[in-house]
Amino acid sequence: MTGLARARWYRAAFILALSAFSGGLLAALAIGSRGIDALDRLATAGTRGVAFGAILSALSAALLAAAILGAIAFRNSSSVSPEIFFLSFFWVALSLEALRPALGFLILEGGSLAARDLSVRGIMMARYSGAFAVFVASLHAAGYRNDKPWSVLAVTMVAALGVSAGLPVNSGDVSRGLMPRPGYASLSDFIEIVLLAAVLGNFLYAARSRAAKGYIGAALGAAALLGGAFWLRQGAGWTVVGLASALIAGGAVAVLVPLRRYYLWQ
């Protein structure tokens, strides 16, 4: 991939994330305070604050993703790092959390179960696509190379589609984050734990094989990205959203800075 093509993608990713945030904000405004109360009454958790926490976390995720992609697009687009390229898809996927307010609006408007199921699985696919993108970035750090990065991304998206389509979901439920809890929840958590372990292992191997200590920071940063995203989408109020957002922002710095420095000398 040429440097120009990479720079164009970063700008397109920034615009996409910003558009996702704008759409989520419009959906949140359409829901309003009365809609938030109504969604709380529908929530299976049976507690207040479920809808507000979900909307807050979704918009925070999208805005944070747009800010990070903007920093890459306008300050770091010249980097030839394949890891940064693949990580950009994690932040695009994170911005699509802004679809959750749209799902809430669909619920309030009496959308069909088929439409709700499609929305839920679309959000799940974005989440798995983002996690798989971080894994692919770690593979490249460990030495894997492919001259067709878009083909690799296509494979990850097909894998994400398979996982999100295969897990049973009761789309009629409204749970924490405005998302129904998937069936085989332990399997879903296991997949994320395995990916996290693989990402850490790959980046640490890169630190050893390349004799580049910066990859140790990248390993911790990637773990912070995955953990922060998982925590953020729980939608549990201001404190959790603030801490999870800080974790993602710190993870982004921990990943981007050493990768940029490493490839400056290559």
Domain, as residue range, for 32: 3-264
How many domains is the chain built from? 1
In terms of Cα–Cα distance, which of 221, 228, 225 is closest to 132?
A: 225
What pLDDT sits at residue 228? Answer: 92
State how far the Cα of 234 lies from the Cα of 105, in Å rounded to an integer.
19
Our measurement of the distance from residue 86's CA atom to the centroid of its chain's CA atoms, rounded to an integer in Å, reads 12
What pLDDT sits at residue 80? Answer: 74
What pLDDT sits at residue 252? Answer: 94
| Residue 201: CATH number of its domain | 1.20.1070
* pLDDT tens across the length of the chain (266 residues): 677 788 899 999 999 999 999 999 999 999 988 888 888 887 765 556 678 888 999 999 999 999 999 999 988 767 778 889 999 999 999 999 999 999 889 888 888 888 888 888 999 999 999 999 999 999 988 888 777 888 888 999 999 999 888 887 776 677 777 777 666 656 777 888 899 999 999 999 988 888 788 889 999 999 999 999 988 887 667 888 999 999 999 999 999 988 888 776 55
What pLDDT sits at residue 168? Answer: 77
